[in-house]
Amino acid sequence: MRRVAILLTLATLVGACGAPSSVSKQAEALASTAAEGALLAGDVADARSTGAFAKTHARALLEQAEEVRAASASPELGSLAGEIVSALRQLASAPTDRVVASEVEERLETAAKDAEEIEESAA
Amino acid sequence: MKKVFAIALGILAAIGGFVDIGDIVFNVEAGATFGYQLLWAVVIGVGGIITYAEMCGRVAAASERAVFDVVRERLGVGTGLVALVSGQFVNLMTLAAEIGGIAIALQLLSGLPYRVLLVLGVVALALVLWFMPFGWIERVFGYCGLALLVFAVAAIKLEPDWGSVAHGFVPSTGSGDLAVYGYFVVGLIGAAMIPYEVYFYSSGAVEERWRPKDLGINRANVLVGYSLGGLLSFALMISAGALLLPAGISAELLGTVALVAEVPLGQVGLILALVGMLFAISGAAIDSAFSGAYNVAQFFGWEWGKYRRPAGAPRFAIAWFVMLVLGFLIVVTGVDPILVTELSVIFSVVALPLTYTPILLVANDRAYMGAHTNGRLANVFGVFYLVVVLVIAVAAIPLLLLSNMGQG
């Protein structure tokens, strides 16, 4: 019984480490990443962030979107994840450029809305 | 004046011990997922740590002995060994998570590579543990950790619905996925009552040579220190609930926590948040490394204490050094520190009864405590929290599985 419990726990932990598998969960994860990226980009555009923070956090968000892209449950989600990755990469490579950040903010806001629509239609 | 300095012990325990990476992660995730609905769980957790830290301090002052010293004698070697092994396992996981958290905070501040900062962070911790006097550790990490108060300002600036905030202090079953809600209840109480806090607190009291005349300081420490820790937890959850929940953002990164201060307060908020996180997490890493060394040294009857030079307590010094190296080896594999944090908190919940049951037994033992045995109030709270601890210990693993680690 104890072994079963340990195996179940380990299986859950392994499962929890990677990207979610269902369309709605993946869309939810992408909406969250895009919305957070948009907030970050907005702060960069308003000169309210630091270069080190913007670069590091944009990269971390980018990795989250990459995970979803690698395991995407539909072509639509894969393409959306690619758009989010591309926008965040742009922010990470120019973390103090206010003009770039402003563009990235718009792209990520749109991506977040698209992800929410996919999530709602999948629910 | 001496009393004012003594309260610093409580502030260190509160900031460096209470507000550690576990509290930061669970409070912000809970706020992002359930808004203010889980504030009551923080109150339960803070009450629990106040109850048992006060008992530990009183045991130390009355018997001049720390927790594990008494555990082995009171429960025997067999049961004591089980408590020691489970305590050390949880301590090590906590320390690994804290080391990873230090590197992430440094990376968010500097932009330098994570692995380089892991090495720098662990070397800096070793130097602090070796060279810095106890009093300085208290002051540097305790007071710099107070920068986390920026989250209280952020919470106000984000203009939450204060009616909903007040409602969050009333226990409820919450709205949404019940398993996820239960997982966060367990995590929040577990993060507040994580075992290394009481191990460190009681050993620190012995190191400070507390006597029965210091019991007033003990009460002030736990009430001021842990209440302050609780306020910071409220601030983290409220600001996450006000900013992240409406935007549909889940908090899975330490950078997200810093963003919660940056959005309302700009660069100043961001830097204060990162500095506060860095010092609070570093203080907690020091506490957990020392706790591991205290436990093993007290259990086996070795010479121990930060006040002794390493040459005077060599096995104690080796013990914290080994803890540090093992913690580093865990995170250098590339495992996500946030994942390690969540697991360390949930596994610590499972081990909580082994920590808190002996404390309650000893605090009721006249042979150790004399006139300072638990009174009725201490026992009412002690037994209540022991029941809470037993319930969440049983529920922790099933909720971890059912909620998919809080992800639903």
Would you list the DSSP string of B36-84?
A: TTTHHHHHHHHHHHHHHHHHHHHHHHHHS--HHHHHHHHHHHHHHHHHH
Selecting from B249, B262, B401 the residue whose C-beta is nearest the C-beta of A32 gives: B249
Q: Which of A14-18, B291-295, B387-391 has the highest mean pLDDT?
A: B387-391
Higher pLDDT pick, B5 / A15: B5
Contacts of A40 in chain B (CB under 8 A): 259
Closest residue in B to A42 (Cα) is: B263
What is the number of domains present in chain A?
A: 1
Nearest-neighbour CA in chain B from A75: distance (Å): 23
Residue matched to tokens 């106890």: B134
pLDDT tens per residue, range A89-114: 999 999 999 999 999 999 999 999 99
Q: Is the dihedral angle over the CA atoms B199, B203, B204, B210 positive or is it negative? A: positive
Per-residue pLDDT for A3 more than 60?
no
Distance (Å) from the alpha carbon of B182 to chain A's nearest alpha carbon? 17
Does residue B5 have a pLDDT over 90? no
Predicted confidence (pLDDT) per residue in A26-43, tens digit = 999 999 999 999 999 999
d(CA A83, nearest CA chain B) in Å? 18
How many whole angstroms separate alpha carbon B239 and alpha carbon B272?
Answer: 15
Q: Which of B209-213, B275-279, B312-316 has the highest mean pLDDT?
A: B275-279
The reply to whether residue B262 touches residue A116, judged by beta carbons under 8 angstroms, is no
**pLDDT confidence of residue B135:** 74
Q: What is the pLDDT of residues B234-257, one digit of tens each?
A: 999 999 999 999 999 999 999 999
Q: What is the DSSP string of B77-92?
A: HHHHHHHHHHHHHHHH
- The closest CB to that of B262, out of A15, A31, A48, belongs to A48
Amino acid B110 reads S
Does residue A18 register a pLDDT over 60? no
CA distance B347 to B404: 15
Displacement of CA B21 from its chain's centroid (Å): 8
**Closest-CA residue to B308 (of B209, B202, B215, B218):** B209
B408, part of any domain: no
Contacts of A112 in chain B (CB under 8 A): 248
Does some domain include residue B336?
A: yes
Question: 3-class DSSP state for residue B381?
Answer: helix
Number of domains present in the structure of chain B: 1
- The conformation of residue B149, written as its DSSP 8-state character, comes to G
User: What number of residues does chain B have?
Assistant: 408
Which residue is closest to B254 within chain A, CA to CA? A57
Interface of A with B in 17-46 (CB under 8 A): 17, 20, 25, 28-29, 31-32, 35-36, 39-40, 43, 46
A43:B266 CB<8 A = yes
At residue B168, the pLDDT reads 97
Minimum CA–CA partner of A63 in chain B: B253
| Contact assignment for B250 to A32 by CB distance below 8 Å | yes
- Give the pLDDT score at A22: 86
What's the gap in Å between the CA of A43 and the closest CA on chain B?
7
Query: Is residue B407 assigned to a domain?
Result: no
What DSSP letter does each residue of A77-117 carry, written as one string? HHHHHHHHHHHHHHHHHSTT-HHHHHHHHHHHHHHHHHHHH
Specify whether the CB–CB gap between A49 and A40 falls below 8 A: yes
Q: Which of residues 65-84 of A touch B (CB under 8 A)?
A: none
Nearest CA in chain B to A54: B108
Q: Which residue has the tokens 């004046």?
A: B1
- Nearest Cα neighbor of B343 from A73, A12, A99 is A12
Query: Which pLDDT does position B12 carry in this prediction?
Result: 58
B166 vs B81: which has the higher pLDDT = B166
* Parent domain of A99: 2-122
End-to-end CA distance of chain B: 51
Count CB atoms within 10 A of the CB of residue B279.
23
Residue whose entry in the numeric block shows the structure tokens 């860095």: B278
Determine how many CB atoms are found less than 10 A away from the CB of residue B310. Answer: 16
Size of interface A-B (CB pairs under 8 A): 91
Q: Is the model's pLDDT at A5 over the cut of 60?
A: no
Half-sphere exposure of B159 (CA within 13 A, CB side): 0
Q: Distance between CA atoms of B109 and B284, rounded to whole angstroms?
A: 19
How many helices, marked H, and strands, marked E, lie in chain B? Answer: 17, 0
Q: Is B152 exposed, middle or buried (0-12, 13-18, 19+ CB in 10 A)?
A: middle
Q: Which of B336, B236, B269, B264 is nearest to B25 (CA)?
A: B236
The answer to whether residue B263 sits within a structural domain is yes
Contact B248 A116 (CB under 8 A): yes
Question: Could you tell me if B323 and B95 are in contact, meaning their C-beta atoms sit under 8 angstroms apart?
Answer: yes
What range defines the domain where residue B274 resides?
2-402
Q: Is the pLDDT assigned to residue A13 strictly greater than 80?
A: no
Interface test with B, best of A3, A21, A30, A39 (most B CBs within 10 A): A39
B130, B310 contact by CB (below 8 A): yes
Its pTM stands at: 0.92
pLDDT digits (tens, 9 = 90+) for B263-300: 999 999 999 999 999 999 999 999 999 999 999 998 88
The pLDDT tens digits of the residues spanning A58-99 come to 999 999 999 999 998 899 999 999 999 999 999 999 999 999
Of the candidates B358, B360, B356, B363, the one whose C-alpha atom is nearest the C-alpha of residue B389 is: B356
Q: Residue B209: inside a domain, yes or no?
A: yes
Q: What is the CATH number of the domain that holds B152?
A: 1.20.1740.10
**Using CA atoms, how far apart are residues B44 and B46, in angstroms rounded to an integer?**
6
Residues of chain B that touch chain A, judged by Cβ-Cβ distance less than 8 Å: 107-111, 247-250, 252-253, 255-256, 258-259, 262-263, 266-267, 270-271, 274, 336, 339, 343, 397, 400-401, 404-405, 407
